[in-house]
Structure 1
Amino acid sequence: MFVSPSKGPMTLDAMVTDIVDYVRAERTADYRLIIGTDSHTKKGTHMVTAVIIQRLGKGARFFYRHTEHMCMSSLRQKLYYETAISLDVVHALKEKLYKNLLVGMRIEIHVDAGFVGASREIIREIVGMVMATGLVAKVKPDSFGASAVADRFTK
C-alpha cells in the first residue's frame, strides 16, 4: 500500500491511475519517474520507498510505502536490499504504465549512497546493478528520491 500525502493510502493501481492522470493533464511537458528507497535500523530495518513523478520545471507528485524487514546491520546488505526494492517497484510500475501507453518516460533509480563516505566502497556495484536493468542510477548528491524524499519518512 502506498501513501499519497494529499490523497492518503492508495493501492499500486490507484497510484498508477494518479500518475497517468497527472501526465495526461499536460501531455507536452517532460517527465521523469524517480524511485528511491531509504532505511533506518533500530529493532528491525524500516524501509521507505518513494515514487516521484516529476514534471520538469513545473513540480512533482510523490507517493511512499513503508515496509519492515529483518534487522540489517551491514551497510552493504542495506544498500543492496534498498536497490532491489526500488527495482521491484519500478518494474511493477513500468508494466502498468505501458498498459496506459506511457512509454519512453525517463526512469531513474535514486540510491542513498555516494562516492564520499562509507558507501563509496560498493557504489560502483550498486550502480552496475541498476544499469544492468537498463535504467539510470543517480547517487548522492543527485539522489534526492532516496536521500531526501524517502529519508523523510523513515523515522
Structure 2
Amino acid sequence: MSKLKVLNYTFQNLSQKNMSFEQVFQHIMQFMRNDPNGNYRLMFGTDSQVHSYYTRFITGIVIQREKKGVWACIRKTVVPRKMTNLHERISYETTLTEEVVSMFSDERKNQLIDIVLPNIYKGASLAIEGHIDIGSGNRNKTSIFVNEMVARMESLGVEPKIKPDSFVASSYANRYTK
C-alpha cells in the first residue's frame, strides 16, 4: 500500500489554529462518528480576493450533517502579487481545492465511508463535493471556465458544484478573503 505524502499545510477555524491535516481528518471522523446514521456532505472550495500588493486565497473544508450542523476549517494561501487575470485566478483556486481533496486518499475516504456504511439501509450517506466559485449564467464572466473546472473536479472523483450551489467557495471561504 503506497503512502500519499500529506502536504504540510496548516488549517484553522474560529476555535483552533495551526491544525495539521491529520487533526482536521480526526475532527471530521469524530463529527461523523457522533451520528453514524447521518446524511453527510464533505465539501471543499476555494475563493480569492485581489488586494493592493497580494492575492489571498482561502480553501474551506466543510463536513455537514444535513439539518444537524457542520464542522469546518480553512487554509490560507497568499500570492505576493495582484493576480488580475481571471482565468489564472480561477484555475489557481481550483488547484488549491484539488490539493486539499487529494489529501483525502482512497484509504482515508474509505475510513469515512466505513462510518456510514453499516447504516446506509437506515438512510445514512456520504457525498464528496468540490465547490467552484464560478457560474454558468450569461452575465457571469467565469462561465467560459465552467467546463474546464468541472472536468478537473470530476477527474478527482468529487461531485462538482457551481454557483448558486457552491457555497463553500462563494460564501464560507469568501468571508475570509477580505
The match for 1:107 among 120, 128, 134 is 128
Change (3 A) 1:65 1:136: same
TM (norm. structure 2) is 0.81
Counterpart for residue 40 of structure 2:
31
Deviation at 1:9, TM superposition (A): 3.2
Counterpart for residue 21 of structure 1:
30
Number of residue pairs the alignment of both structures matches:
154
Contact 1:16 1:96 in 2 (8 A): no
What residue ranges of structure 2 are gaps of 5+ in the alignment? 1-9, 115-125
The match for 1:140 among 163, 173, 177 is 163
Counterpart for residue 67 of structure 1:
77
Counterpart for residue 83 of structure 1:
94
- Report the structure, 1 or 2, having the larger strand content: 1
Runs of 4 or more consecutive aligned structure 1 residues displaced over 3 Å after TM superposition: none
Deviation at 1:97, TM superposition (A): 2.7
Counterpart for residue 47 of structure 1:
57
TM (norm. structure 1) is 0.92
- Matched-pair identity in %: 32
The letter for the 1-side match of 2:133 is D
Contact 1:20 1:97 in 2 (8 A): no
Note the alpha carbon deviations across 1:60-91, whole angstroms, 9 max, x for none.
Answer: 11101111124321111111111111011011
The letter for the 2-side match of 1:57 is K
Counterpart for residue 3 of structure 1:
12
Instruction: Tell me the secondary structure at the aligned position of residue 114 of structure 1.
Output: coil
Q: 1 CA distance for matches of 2:107 and 2:63?
A: 15
What residue ranges of structure 1 are gaps of 5+ in the alignment? none
Q: 2 CA distance for matches of 1:34 and 1:53?
A: 6
Deviation at 1:11, TM superposition (A): 1.2
Counterpart for residue 123 of structure 2:
none
**Higher CA-based Rg:** 2
Note the alpha carbon deviations across 1:76-114, whole angstroms, 9 max, x for none.
Answer: 111111111101101103456347x21373110000010
